[in-house]
Chain A
């Protein structure tokens, strides 16, 4: 936990430096996206980890944060001489961070989904003697975290999307993908609450949707 707090503060400091250099929200290159996403993921971990006492979540979250930070550190990923923004699009300045923030919550939801799948496999196959199994939170807690984090992510995504509609520049394909992602998560939540779904299917869908949407955004 202490390491995650330290990491969070360091990421915040790095983001503020980039923000100063940019004169705008630091979400202009791949490195900044990775850094912001890692910060957002750490933020939600710190909020959820302490609120719901989901032990071991940190153990599953830390590697994702590490990978994101390593990608940020790769040569050429982070622009060495960031261009200072002369004109600011305030709608865009809110749209981008809210969207990445939503991905922080969705990423942590995906982490909880992975944890659920691991635990589910232990329970279904009767492998219940390992230390990992003993220390994992119950199914009910993990499923609850998965759903709550997806709802939080969906709320941020919705607000971000609304701000996106008012941006001065045409969002183009990026905005269309965002709309599809938003609809997909909305449908998933609606099915979960109205029709019901097995936790295993929910976890797999959350994981696939997160990886797929992130990959599409990264490719754009």
Chain B
């Protein structure tokens, strides 16, 4: 009995190819079970996320399983996009996937739940047995170990999450914070949406085109403000997100100075994600203003990514140590089932 993994991911296949092989979540169990009916395959788990599709099978005859699996996947047509791992390499790959080391965003946590769900569907469809049950359960243990014993999850890896972290470093809980978005573009939408998910108290949206402001306000459950009136709202907000296409600064030091006393000098967190910048850099010199532009946020993202990359070696060390144990377990199960022969 041996283990084979065949799959493709965001690094090996473009989205058109990944779409072709994607399996809806509710069909993961059925598809896994279908694979066990193929010649040479006794157990199977199909994993499908937006960035990968992988099949793990346990087989008594590797060659036979490989042929029937590749035939089922129509492997020949897209073979340059597939990767294949066997035995210990397959176990190692699974552990890397579960730990987020093979993810587009290094160390992300969502993949752990996705693999677990895929395994549960396969298990529920009676597509798993002694080998895959042990290997997947062990891999979940390895995934937890990697996340708790290393700093693979430390540091943010997107501009939006860095902005969120900074906002929480200032206001602690965004539930009491009011946000104003200047400009209703895509970047504004992404950033404000993540803040809405953290439960901000109120969102104001302003834009030169009021209709666009209204549309974004409706989308995030906020209030649209006419572009000429945003100064009035400035007295009550805690966070300003600016992303307009203006070539001159939209927010000047004088505008902020004018509302300082009305704001009782409360902290004001300003995120300028526009290029060219919307906020006059002198605004950041005001004591209670915390101003960050795209470059500063991007710098934090790079540092976050670098921090995670530094952890890869430590993660791989844990994984290779654990994989030795997993391989031993698989051998023991095999011996128990088929004897020493």
Contacts and interface: CB of A to CB of B under 8 A. Distances in A.
Interface of A: 119, 123-124, 126, 128-129, 134, 136-141, 195-201
22 contacts: A123-B166, A124-B284, A128-B166, A129-B155, A129-B300, A134-B154, A136-B169, A138-B169, A139-B171, A139-B267, A140-B170, A140-B172, A141-B172, A195-B261, A195-B264, A196-B261, A196-B264, A196-B265, A198-B288, A199-B265, A199-B288, A201-B287
A200 B169 CA distance: 16
A200 B288 contact: yes
Interface of B: 154-155, 166, 168-173, 261, 263-267, 284, 287-288, 290, 292, 296, 299-300, 303, 307
A140 B299 contact: no
Given A126-B292, A198-B287, A200-B287, A139 B300 contact: no
A12 to B, nearest CB: 33
A126 B299 contact: yes
B265 A128 contact: no
A139 B263 CA distance: 17
Nearest to B296: A126
B303 A129 contact: yes
A60 to B, nearest CB: 17
Nearest to B291: A124
A201 B265 CA distance: 10
Given A196-B263, A196-B266, A197-B265, A123 B287 contact: no
A195 B264 CA distance: 6
A13 to B, nearest CB: 37
A-B interface, 6 closest residue pairs, ranked by CB to CB distance from nearest:
A196-B264, A138-B172, A198-B287, A140-B172, A198-B265, A198-B288
B300 to A, nearest CB: 6
Given A136-B169, A138-B170, A199-B288, 13 more contacts: A123-B169, A124-B284, A128-B166, A129-B307, A137-B172, A138-B168, A139-B267, A197-B265, A198-B287, A199-B265, A199-B267, A200-B288, A201-B287
